[in-house]
Amino acid sequence: MVVFPYTVAFLLLSSLQTVKIANSQSFIGINYGQVADNLPPPPSTAKLLQSTSIQKVRLYGSDPAIIKALANTGIGIVIGTANGDIPGLASDPNFAKSWINTNVLPFYPASNIILITVGNEVMTSNDQNLVNRLLPAMQNVQNALNDASLGGKIKVSTVHSMGVLKQSEPPSSGSFDPSYGDLMKGLLEFNSANGSPFAINPYPYYAYRSDTRPETLAFCLFQPNAGRTDGNTKIKYMNMFDAQVDAVFSALNSMGFKNVEIVVAETGWPFKGDDNDVGPSIENAKAYNGNLIAHLRSMVGTPLMPGKSVDTYLFALYDEDLKPGPGSERSFGLFKTDLTMVYDVGLSTSSQIKSLAAASQPLIAATTNTINNNNSMSMNTSTCNCMCNCTSTINISSGSNKVYLIIIFNLDFLYGFMGLSLICLFFYDLQT
C-alpha cells in the first residue's frame, strides 16, 4: 500500500501558490512624479517596473513618452489633468474632447490607461473657482470618453487629501467637512453613477508628526502596539492606515455612498529630511512601506472592509529633486534614479522569489524528517534564471514505491511577467 506524503505536496504547492499570489498583486501601485531634472528615460523606468510586483502607475500629468513606454506591459496607468486645466475642461466640452484626443486615443489600448484624475486635492486648495468647476470638468471628460466609446473602460475621478474629512477619530465617526456640502454630494453621485473610485491620500506619517509619542510611531508603522479601540464599534485598530481608510469609509457611508470604491492614491514615508524633521529615516520608511505591502498582501483588509485590499499607490517611485518645501518632500522615493533600490521592501520580483524559495526549503526539510528511515526524498531542479521556464522534479520514495511530483512554472518577468503558469503532475510508480 502506498502512503503518499501529502504534507510535502501541500507545502510545495502552497509555496508555489504564494509565488503566484506575489505576482498578481493588482492592488499595489506607485506614484511617478516628475518634478525633477534627473529622472531616467521612460523606457528604463518601464523595464524597472516590469521587474517588480507593481501593476499600476499613477502619473500626475499625461506625459506621452511615459505612456508610450508603458505600452504592451499590461501595467495599469492613471493619468491626470492639471488643476489649471479644470476651468477650460468645465466650460468647453470641445476642450475636454481635445484633451482625450491628445492624451488617450493615440495610446489606448496598447497603453493600459485605467483612470483619469481631474485635478489633485482641489477641494482643499482654497481656490473656490476650481472647487466650483471641478464636477463640471469631470462630467465633460466623462462625456468625451463616452463619445469615444471608452465610457466604462476608462474611469474618471479626482483625488482628495484627508483634509476633506471634518472628523476621522474614531474611524466609525468619520465624516466629511460640512462646508463642502452639495459639492461633495455631487462628486459622490458622479462616482456612484460612473463606477469610479473615491481617491484619497492618507499619510500616517503626517499623523505621527502631530503626535510624536513612541506608541504613535509604532501604530503608524504597523509595529507591535497596544492598539486603539473605537468606542462606538469596540473594534481595536492596530495601525493608523486601517483607521484612516475606515474613517473615509464611514464618511462615505454617512452620506449613503458606502458602495463607492476607495482607492488610496498616495501614501508613503520619507527616508530622510531636514535636521528638524520628525520621523524621516531609512528605518521608518522601510518599516512603513514594507509592513504596508505585507498588510495589503495578506488580503485581510480593514475592520470595516474585511477580506480585500484597497488599491494603494505608494509615494513614490523616485525622489523629485525640484520639489519645494522641507527636505522630506524630496525624499519619498523607493528607487534611485540609477534604478537601484533606496531600501528593499520586497517589491522586486527576484527578491520575492528568492525569499519564497528560501522559506520553502526548511519546510520541505522538516517534512522529510517525518518519513521513516526506509524512505528517501530527492529533488532535481534544472538550472535556469528567473526570467525563463523552470522545471523541478521531486522523487519521493516510500519503500519500493515512488511518487514523482513534477512542477513546471513559467515566470515571464520581463515580458509581461504577470503571466505565471503552474503545472503540477503526480506520477505513481508502484513496484511489487
120 within some domain: yes
Given a cut of 60, whether residue 357 has pLDDT beyond it is no
208 within some domain: yes
Q: Tell me, what amino acid is at 271?
A: F
Pick the range with the lowest mean pLDDT from 145-149, 178-182, 296-300.
Answer: 178-182
Closest CA to 46 of 27, 32, 26, 28: 32
What per-residue confidence (pLDDT) applies to 3?
A: 40
Beta strand 236-237 with 175-176: parallel, antiparallel or unpaired?
unpaired
Residue 329 known to be catalytic: no
Distance of alpha carbon 113 from alpha carbon 216, whole angstroms: 38
Q: Which one of 169, 215, 261, 266 is the catalytic residue?
A: 266
Domain that holds residue 189: 33-339
Given a cut of 70, whether residue 208 has pLDDT beyond it is yes
Residue 320 known to be catalytic: no
Binning pLDDT at 50, 70 and 90, where does residue 118 land? Answer: very high
Q: C-alpha distances in angstroms, 26 versus 19, 53, 299, 332, 399?
A: 14, 8, 12, 22, 46
18 within some domain: no
198 within some domain: yes
Given a cut of 90, whether residue 288 has pLDDT beyond it is yes
Given a cut of 90, whether residue 4 has pLDDT beyond it is no
| CATH code for the domain of 166 | 3.20.20.80
- When pLDDT is averaged across residues 132-141 and rounded to a whole number, the result is 98
Q: What is the C-alpha R_g of the chain?
A: 25
- When pLDDT is averaged across residues 403-412 and rounded to a whole number, the result is 39
- When pLDDT is averaged across residues 294-311 and rounded to a whole number, the result is 98
| SS3 at position 266 | strand
429 within some domain: no
Closest CA to 158 of 260, 71, 243: 260
What per-residue confidence (pLDDT) applies to 250?
A: 98
Higher confidence at residue 360 or residue 249? 249
Number of Cβ within 10 Å of residue 168's Cβ equals 19
Distance of alpha carbon 318 from alpha carbon 98, whole angstroms: 31
Counting the structural domains of the chain, the total is 1
Binning pLDDT at 50, 70 and 90, where does residue 24 land? Answer: low
- When pLDDT is averaged across residues 256-268 and rounded to a whole number, the result is 98
What per-residue confidence (pLDDT) applies to 352?
A: 53
Q: Tell me, what amino acid is at 16?
A: L
Distance of alpha carbon 167 from alpha carbon 187, whole angstroms: 19
What per-residue confidence (pLDDT) applies to 8?
A: 44
Distance of alpha carbon 424 from alpha carbon 428, whole angstroms: 13
372 within some domain: no
Distance of alpha carbon 410 from alpha carbon 389, whole angstroms: 5
Binning pLDDT at 50, 70 and 90, where does residue 431 land? Answer: very low
430 within some domain: no
What per-residue confidence (pLDDT) applies to 124?
A: 97
pLDDT mean across residues, the chain: 84
What per-residue confidence (pLDDT) applies to 349?
A: 84
- When pLDDT is averaged across residues 176-203 and rounded to a whole number, the result is 97
- When pLDDT is averaged across residues 261-280 and rounded to a whole number, the result is 96
- When pLDDT is averaged across residues 302-309 and rounded to a whole number, the result is 97
What per-residue confidence (pLDDT) applies to 301?
A: 98
- When pLDDT is averaged across residues 362-391 and rounded to a whole number, the result is 39
Reading the block at residue 156, the C-alpha cell is: 474618471
Binning pLDDT at 50, 70 and 90, where does residue 377 land? Answer: very low
What per-residue confidence (pLDDT) applies to 25?
A: 77
Q: Tell me, what amino acid is at 267?
A: T
Given a cut of 50, whether residue 174 has pLDDT beyond it is yes
260 within some domain: yes
Given a cut of 60, whether residue 274 has pLDDT beyond it is yes
Higher confidence at residue 297 or residue 424? 297
Distance of alpha carbon 108 from alpha carbon 258, whole angstroms: 31
Quick: pLDDT tens for 31-66.
999 999 999 999 999 999 999 999 999 999 999 999
CB contact at 8 A, 218 and 227: no
Closest CA to 58 of 70, 50, 44: 70
CB contact at 8 A, 333 and 317: yes
What per-residue confidence (pLDDT) applies to 373?
A: 42
Higher confidence at residue 18 or residue 86? 86
Query: CA 259, 261, 264: angle at the middle one, nearest 5?
Result: 150
CB contact at 8 A, 156 and 86: no
